[in-house]
Structure 1
């Protein structure tokens, strides 16, 4: 009987730990999505900065460069658009790898110090 009682207590304690487990998984998942999302926005911002730079850092130059780019893209055949998509994907992967390397200390969430931990 004592064994069954201790097993019941162990099961009850395990059940009490479950909410903190799924909260930790949810926190880690949300932090991961935040890291991936911010990395994506940073790389898109770098592409924007590239077009802004080749446009002479003016809004008019940016719009002219985007117009030139879209005119050539729409007029291109399937082979050229496929080549462009490959170049864009490779550039995006390189930029993403560079941004992730520079932000590598933010991949994992910070651990709270002993005084900041909340139990319950």
Structure 2
């Protein structure tokens, strides 16, 4: 008589701790990307100000006075330009930091292998 082997059903438990770890790691990735993006904006204003604080403040004051004097559609257009530039810079920074999106947890693979 032949023996029929039943396949083993191994229940895999969801590792909620790892999901929380990944969430914290990804939040840190997004926060540092945001700070780097703001740093690129600050570097841009330093660049157009000839890398001097006085020049940068003069350009910011000029932009502020024009922004406050602008009408509604012009302000919306400016906000759209800043938003698109922010998204492009953030996307570029994320592309070059894509290796840091996933946490490096070699110990987890060894434990559950």
Classify the TM-score, shorter chain.
0.7 to 0.9
- What residue in structure 2 maps to residue 97 of structure 1? 91
Cα shift at 1:118? 7.3
- What residue in structure 1 maps to residue 20 of structure 2? 26
Q: Any gaps of 5 or more consecutive residues in structure 2?
A: 1-11
Instruction: Tell me the TM-score normalized by structure 1.
Output: 0.77
Asked if 1:73 corresponds to 2:67, the answer is yes
RMSD, matched Cα: 2.2
Aligned length, in residue pairs: 102
Q: Any gaps of 5 or more consecutive residues in structure 1?
A: 1-13
Whole-angstrom CA distance in 1 between matches of 2:52 and 2:71: 31
Q: When you count helix as a share of all residues, which structure comes out higher?
A: 1
- What residue in structure 2 maps to residue 51 of structure 1? 45
Cα shift at 1:23? 1.6
Cα shift at 1:22? 2.2
